[in-house]
Structure 1
């Protein structure tokens, strides 16, 4: 087992933050580039299944899964914390990430926020000198729905 240096931990924190940013920006190309070419994303199927049940492998399948975000008005992934441990082989690490993911959509009675309180179970691998996500499993702990008072970009607001 190898050590995770402070530089590795910083790079892995940046990797996780970029995933959240690129998801919110709908930048599928950059988001999928955060995964190894054979990377795996295992998603829940809410509300039926809150645990990881839908497996997507490789950049093409992961990109296709991310198109679900396009139906939403906006998303906001708020990272609440990350813990990183050395992996079983040199150049690997594992991580646990807590996140609150907001999903805004339009309803007949106005905008609504579907909030997922979730955790990512990650496996990272160094590839060509850069850390990438080799596997990410998404587990939703609970879901709530909130009314939204106002959304930037609506009603002529910049």
Structure 2
């Protein structure tokens, strides 16, 4: 079974808005992309590459993402999206691949912790709009790069 084009486009927009709002540090805006009881499940790197911490509801999502306030610059690039129908007409599943850059000062320079990851998502359509029901972050690879220059400086 295939997701209709209009629904696919709405889901595509949802996952890209998540990335953009994280990079803009609009954590309340990210939380609004989740249903009222939505769950954001995160890993605990470098020990755990799979989701081991669950954050429920808008307050949980905001609290989970607030740790990024310590990272001056992030850049999330969505590299692949696959959507499948869910268990009912108002549900869907997704596998989203992403490269997430986390740029921070280190030893008088900037370093980029690059996370290659995929999200396993469950979506629910409520009030005519798609929302995350559950978003799991699965890390595949972490690398660190030296940064020559950023909009933050050199």
TM-score normalised by the chain length of structure 1? 0.95
Unpaired stretches in structure 1, ≥5 consecutive residues: none
Structure 1 residue 153 displacement after superposition = 3.5
RMSD of aligned C-alpha atoms? 1.1
Whole-angstrom distance in 1 between the partners of 2:105 and 2:144: 12
Residues in 2 aligned to 1:108 and 1:116: alpha-carbon distance in whole angstroms: 21
Q: Which residue of 2 aligns with 1:17?
A: 16
Any residues of structure 2 matched to 1:29-108 within 5 Å, and which?
29-108=28-107
Structure 1 stretches of at least 4 aligned residues deviating more than 2 Å after TM superposition: none
Aligned residues: 154
> Could you state the TM-score of these two structures normalised by the residue count of structure 2?
0.97
Q: How much has 1:4 moved relative to structure 2?
A: 2.0
State the match for 1:115 in structure 2.
114
Secondary structure of 2:149 counterpart: coil
CA displacement, residues 65-120 of structure 1 (integer Å, 9 cap, x when unaligned): 11011000100000001000000111000000000000000011410000000000
Secondary structure at 2:123's aligned position in 1?
A: strand
Once the two structures are superposed, what CA deviation does each residue of 1:9-66 show, in whole Å capped at 9, x if it has no partner?
A: 0000000000000000000111100000000010000011011101111110110011
State the alpha-carbon separation in 2 of the partners of residues 74 and 127 from structure 1: 33
- Deviations 1:126-146 (CA, angstroms, capped at 9, x unpaired): 010000000000000010000
Could you tell me which runs of 5 or more consecutive residues in structure 2 were left unpaired when the two chains were aligned: none
Partner of 2:3: 4
User: Aligned partners of 2:124, 2:48: CA distance in 1, in Å?
Assistant: 28
Residue 152 of structure 2 aligns to a residue whose secondary structure is: coil
Equivalent-residue separation in structure 1 for 2:37 and 2:50 (angstroms): 22
Find the residue that maps to 2:9 and give its secondary structure: helix
Partners of 1:152 and 1:101 in 2: how far apart?
A: 17
Aligned counterparts, 1:119-134, within 5 A: 119-134=118-133
